[in-house]
Amino acid sequence: MNSAPNGPVSTGRSSGRPVVGICARTAPVTLMGAPLTVSFTLQSHVKFLASAGCAPLLLPLLPGVEHLIDRLDGLLVPGGPDVDPSLYGGAPHSRTRGADAAVDAAELALVTTALRAGLPVLAVCRGMQLLNVGFGGTLHQHLPEVTGHDGHCPETEVFTFGRNRLDLTPGSRIAEILGEDSPEAACHHHQAIDRIGAGLTATAWAPDGVVEAVEVTDHPFAIGVQWEAGQTEDERLHRALAEAAGRFSAQAAGHHLVDGGDLVRPATSRG
């Protein structure tokens, strides 16, 4: 995965509210007695981005989805099933669940293309793990075997968040966004980063040393967080993504004509 912009990106999208793509998840449901499979995202992702002035767009993870990048100003990669361990040279653990090679391939292509185009990217939980794998990193497939406890994904009869105090790197993007001396995160994940991928920098940790946030080196805005952003009332990460998407959109509005009449976006910079 290459984080640097790879030349100009064409755009045929008109100006307006910044468009932020959200990677869809799929699940079986029963509606009016009929079994169905649906594509969905958390309504909170839609609500938070919309309230921050963006137009959220659900992106089904089908082959070729990366070609929609030139219609986007930002990308949110939410939580979801485990990443296929074959992508980082691992054999499936007995607790690894929901891996889908086709979905992983589509999402990796989408994220890679977004990063090369300089789009702001926020990757949450599975999203952060996929980001790390895309940069050549590896994952712990069942974290309790590493930490000796289930604090990151409490094994209780009802869904329960773990709570972690975050140790942030001063001056990092995530520290700027959270703006606290001792922030706490709500988590629910049984996998986590093992070896960090080249091109990523860890910028937050749990007290037990588990990596809780990474940032793509030399990218305007590309952050991965391990906690469940979107499942609490904390909108700071979504607002930060929306602001970055707004800056990207404003730069895109300054597109100019080049030989052949193609429209191109100017290079982005961290702002």
**pLDDT tens digits for 140-156?**
998 888 877 876 777 88
- Of 62 and 147, which is predicted with more confidence? 62
pLDDT band at residue 263 using 50, 70 and 90 as cut-offs: very low
Whether residue 185 is predicted with pLDDT greater than 50 in this model: the reply is yes
pTM for this entry:
0.86
Integer CA distances (angstroms), 86 to 77, 89, 138, 191, in order = 20, 5, 10, 15
The total number of structural domains in the chain stands at 1
Does some domain include residue 7? no
Whether residue 269 is predicted with pLDDT greater than 60 in this model: the reply is no
Does some domain include residue 6? no
The mean per-residue pLDDT over the stretch 69-96 comes to 94
Q: Which residues contact 210 (CB under 8 A, 6 or more apart)?
A: 143, 147, 152, 164, 192, 193, 226
Whether residue 190 is predicted with pLDDT greater than 70 in this model: the reply is yes
At 254 the pLDDT is 76
Does some domain include residue 255? yes
At 149 the pLDDT is 80
User: Of the candidates 146, 155, 178, which has an alpha carbon nearest to the alpha carbon of residue 165?
Assistant: 178
CATH of the domain at 175: 3.40.50.880
Does some domain include residue 178? yes
At 255 the pLDDT is 57
Does some domain include residue 8? no
At 4 the pLDDT is 46
CA separation for the pair 268, 262 (Å, rounded) = 18
Does some domain include residue 1? no
Does some domain include residue 118? yes
Range of the domain at 45: 19-264
The mean per-residue pLDDT over the stretch 97-118 comes to 95
Does some domain include residue 208? yes
